[in-house]
Amino acid sequence: MSYCCDVLLISTLACQIADCLDDDELSLFAADILLLSDALSAIAVRRSISNSCTNNTPSTDNPTCCDE
């Protein structure tokens, strides 16, 4: 149940941030954080694919690997 600490920390942080912002600021901040999350997810996927291609010989079996 170590994941509960992360959930509790994030929930506490969200409540603290919400107390400091008005409704419009909170909506904008939430949208910006969502954009950041999506961008970080895309970077993580690209790194994973790049590492996979580096560790394996690119072939027609793995179309995600690009010749560099």
CA dist 68 and 59 (Å) reads 13
pLDDT of residue 44: 97
Residue 63 pLDDT: 61
**Tens place of pLDDT for every residue, the chain, 68 residues?**
677 999 999 999 999 999 999 999 999 999 999 999 999 999 999 999 999 998 876 555 556 666 54
| Vertex 43: Cα angle to 13 and 68 (nearest 5) | 165
pLDDT at site 60: 57
CB count within 10 Å of CB 11 equals 10
Which of 38, 39, 63 has the alpha carbon at shortest distance from 52?
63
